Structures are given as C-alpha cells and as structure tokens.
C-alpha cells in the first residue's frame, strides 16, 4: 500500500504544473485587461472581416453584399471583397453557426495567445530548460511583444498576424520534434494568413535535410522522398489559396490588396522606394516630454527594439556566434529568411498603420525564436531576464494605452 502511495507521489512530483498555471494566469489577466479597457472577453470586433467572409461563404458567395466603410475592402468589378488571405475565415466559419455576426473575437485572440505560449514553452522544455526558464521565455516571446496589444482586439489585421504567429510557433515545435510534414502543413496555413511567412519553410526544410542526411538509417533517402498525407495537405492548401484568388480576381497570387481604394490613387502597394521611408519611421523613438508624458508614434510604428526587445537578444547572440564561430547552416538560413521577410515588409507602402510599436515586426519573432533555440544551450542570464521583464511591462502598458 505504502509503496503504491509513494509511486503515485513520485509520478505527481514529475508532472509539470507550470504550464497549466501559466495558462490560467493568462486567462485571468485577459479578463482583467478587457475589463480595464471597457469591454469583456466575449465581445465581438467591429473590424470582423473574417466573420463577414465566413457568413458570405455560407450564403454561397465569395464577395460581401455591401460596402463596410471602416473595413479594408477591395473593390473589383463593382463588388466588395475581403482583401486578406482567407485561412482565419475557415476557423471563424464554425463559430458563425453559433454566434452569427457576433463571434467572440476576443476569445479567439486569447486562444491564439494560449496556443502560442504553449508552443514556446514546449520548445524550451525540449531544449532542456527548467519550467521557470521556459515560462520566462514563453511569456517574453509572446506577451513581451506587440502581439500583446494586438491580442486585445480581434480586428482583421491583428487576427491575421496572431493566427500566422501561432501556426509558425507550432511549426517550429513540429520541426524540433522531427515532425517536418506537420511543420510544413502549419507553414502552409500561416501562408494563408500572412503570405511572407512562407519563408519560414526554408530553415525548417533545412532542418529536415540535415536530420535526414545525417541519419544512419539506410532508409534516410527514402524518408527524404516520401510524400505523406500532411505534405499533400500542405500542397492542397497552397493550390486552394491560388484557386480562390483566381476565382475572385483572375490572378492566383492576388489576395485583393491591389484593389483597395488606397492603392488606386497613384501609389503602388509594394515598391523599393518605400524602404528608406519605412526605415526612417522605424527610427522614431519613445520620449518623455515635460511632465513625464510618454510620447511615441502611433502610425506606422516606432523603434522596434523598444516594443519587441527580443530582437536585442537576437543581436547579442548573433554577435556572440560571430566571435565564437558558432554559426551553423540552420542559423544562417534562418537569419537570411528573416532578413528577406523584413525586406519585403519594408517594401510595403505603410508599416502597419495605427498600432502600438511596430506590429509588422511580430512576423519576424518566430524566426528569432528559431534562431535562439537552435543555438548551443545558453544560460539565461540576469540581463536576459531583465529584457523579458521590461518587454512584458512595456507591452502591458501598450495593451492598455493604445486602442483602435
């Protein structure tokens, strides 16, 4: 009897309760945050393009019945179209059968945060970090970034980035666990939210090749050539997105942004001429004016290292890698893919519009996270803890101070 009790106690002691407690605390935090912002966790967003798109599908149409002036709707052949990649609408579709137009967008955003935190935590645990260290990193990566402010509002722009971020984080975890087909499928879903995130497939595929080519098993090359159902599903997602675009705009690569009124006034959606302008905007600093009033730019963002300090850690670790000659092929490809994604973002006419921080930079955080966890295991120093603590506090402020 006593041996069984001791065995049960030993099993319980080995259980990791840190993650469930963390998720519960985040739920409580979000309930309190929405109350402070004057809403509730069950509210629906007025910028609910994905819900409207799902309802249009249910009625057998791909375009919306009417113009909604406060949404970014494309105008093509006299019809109004949702100008964003459609994958989030697929997930909103079942909710419309229960809630109709009033889908609980804030709950969806919270769910994406919880899933993203879980993915980051599990990646850290897999790398051998303690529960406390994994909690610190997971909170710093997800809630210590502009994603915190975005997660407070289920608006179409923020929901697209949050879905993409979540898919990318789980794709990284899938790759770490050797589930490369699942990782590819998740990147394909991220593509249907934020197209440039498809570049994350480059380092993940490099990880797959590295593992396959160093596998002592004689069947390694067979694994490399193997096509399973998840790979086919990823390919089908890409083809479905292209067919959907072609059915709407006669162009498989056009999601609709080119037909927004703002891009029919003489300025192109993408241009190399925007790079310097966007970089100049990102150099805008946060300052304290007379009376200790905090001043920062709310349109097109401010200096990204302030609101997304994880990039400070990235820079420090990249310098360390250079000095210690620790660069690996995976890290090089990850950094290259991230910089290419950044370049594409800089070529956009605006850098995210009304926001806190520089929200487009959130797209680069999964690359940063992948880079850091692929390094030789590092001790989490006090300065790293300070960076994550500051990032959480500052973005907590941003989540309360800046609304649409």
Count of CB atoms situated within 10 Å of the CB of 279: 11
11 lies in some domain: no
Residue 390 zone, left/alpha/beta (φ > 0; ψ -120 to 50; rest)? alpha
pLDDT band at 258 (very low <50, low <70, confident <90, very high): confident
2 lies in some domain: no
The Cβ-side half-sphere exposure at 167, using a 13 Å CA radius, reads 28
pLDDT band at 13 (very low <50, low <70, confident <90, very high): very low
pLDDT at 20 over 90: yes
Q: Helix 156-176 to helix 180-191 angle, to the nearest 10 degrees? A: 170
Query: Which residue segment(s) compose the domain that 200 sits in?
Result: 18-288+296-401
Count of CB atoms situated within 10 Å of the CB of 333: 20
70 lies in some domain: yes
Closest by CA to 154, choosing from 307, 298, 33, 42, is 42
Q: Per the structure, how many domains does the chain have?
A: 1
7 lies in some domain: no
CA–CA distances in Å: residue 354 to residues 82, 150, 151, 277, 303: 19, 11, 15, 16, 15
Inter-residue contact 190 to 168 (CB < 8 Å): yes
Residue 145 zone, left/alpha/beta (φ > 0; ψ -120 to 50; rest)? beta
Alpha-carbon gap, residue 191 to 184, rounded angstroms:
10
As a whole number of Å, the CA-based R_g of the chain is 22
What does pLDDT average to over the chain?
Answer: 90
pLDDT at 223 over 70: no
305 lies in some domain: yes
Structure tokens at 216: 């002592």
- Residues making up the chain, counted from first to last: 404
Closest by CA to 369, choosing from 183, 118, 162, 169, is 169
CA–CA distances in Å: residue 129 to residues 35, 120, 124, 125, 136: 35, 12, 6, 5, 10
31 lies in some domain: yes
Which element (helix H / strand E) includes 184? helix 180-191
Alpha-carbon gap, residue 369 to 392, rounded angstroms:
16
Structure tokens at 371: 């880079």
Nearest 10 degrees: Cα torsion 194, 281, 287, 146: 0
For 390, the 3-state DSSP assignment is: helix
pLDDT tens, residue by residue, 179-190? 888 999 999 999
8 lies in some domain: no
Structure tokens at 183: 């990782």
Q: H-type helices in 302-359, by residue range?
A: 304-307, 310-324, 329-346
Please state the rounded mean pLDDT for residues 243-263. 87
Pairing of strands 293-295, 79-82: unpaired
pLDDT tens, residue by residue, 89-118? 999 999 999 999 999 999 999 999 999 999
Closest by CA to 147, choosing from 118, 112, 123, 191, is 112
pLDDT band at 218 (very low <50, low <70, confident <90, very high): low
Alpha-carbon gap, residue 93 to 100, rounded angstroms:
9
pLDDT at 341 over 80: yes
Inter-residue contact 399 to 33 (CB < 8 Å): yes
In sequence order, the 6+-apart residues with CB closer than 8 A to the CB of 314 are 368, 371, 372
pTM, two decimal places: 0.93
Handedness of CA 85, 87, 93, 95 (dihedral sign): negative
5 lies in some domain: no
Please state the rounded mean pLDDT for residues 9-27. 78
């Amino acid at each position: 009897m006593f041996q069984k009790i001791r065995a049960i106690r030993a099993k319980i002691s080995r259980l990791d309760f840190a993650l469930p407690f963390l998720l519960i605390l985040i739920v409580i935090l979000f309930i309190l945050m929405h109350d402070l912002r004057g809403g509730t966790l069950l509210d629906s967003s007025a910028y609910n393009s994905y819900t409207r798109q799902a309802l249009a599908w249910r009625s057998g149409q791909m375009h919306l019945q009417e113009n909604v002036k406060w949404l970014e709707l494309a105008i093509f052949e006299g019809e109004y179209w949702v100008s964003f990649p459609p994958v989030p609408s697929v997930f909103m579709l079942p909710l419309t059968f229960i809630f109709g137009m009033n889908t609980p967008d804030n709950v969806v955003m919270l769910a994406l945060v919880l899933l993203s935190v879980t993915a980051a935590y599990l990646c850290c645990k897999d790398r051998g970090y303690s529960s406390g260290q994994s909690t610190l990193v997971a909170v710093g990566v997800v809630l210590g970034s502009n994603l915190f402010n975005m997660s407070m509002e289920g608006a179409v722009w923020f929901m697209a980035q949050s879905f993409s971020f979540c898919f990318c984080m789980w794709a990284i975890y899938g790759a770490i666990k050797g589930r490369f087909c699942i990782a590819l499928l998740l990147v394909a879903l991220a593509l249907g939210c934020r197209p440039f995130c498809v570049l994350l497939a480059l380092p993940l595929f490099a990880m797959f090749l590295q593992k396959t080519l160093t596998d002592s098993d004689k069947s390694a090359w067979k694994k490399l050539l193997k096509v399973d159902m998840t790979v086919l599903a990823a390919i089908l997602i890409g083809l479905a997105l292209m067919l959907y675009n072609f059915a709407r705009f006669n162009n498989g690569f056009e999601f609709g942004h080119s037909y927004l009124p703002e891009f029919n006034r003489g300025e192109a959606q993408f241009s190399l001429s925007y790079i310097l302008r966007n970089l100049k905007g990102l150099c805008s600093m946060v300052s304290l004016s007379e009376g200790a009033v905090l001043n920062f730019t709310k349109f097109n963002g401010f200096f990204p290292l302030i609101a997304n300090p994880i990039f400070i850690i990235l820079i420090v670790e990249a310098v360390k890698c250079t000095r210690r000659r620790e660069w690996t092929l995976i890290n090089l490809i990850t950094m290259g893919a991230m910089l290419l994604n950044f370049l594409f973002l800089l070529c956009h006419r605006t850098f995210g519009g009304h926001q806190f921080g520089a929200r487009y930079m959130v797209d680069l955080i999964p690359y940063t996270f992948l880079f850091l966890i692929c390094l030789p295991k590092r001790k989490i120093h006090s300065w790293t803890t300070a960076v994550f603590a500051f990032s959480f506090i500052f973005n907590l402020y941003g989540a309360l101070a800046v609304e649409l």
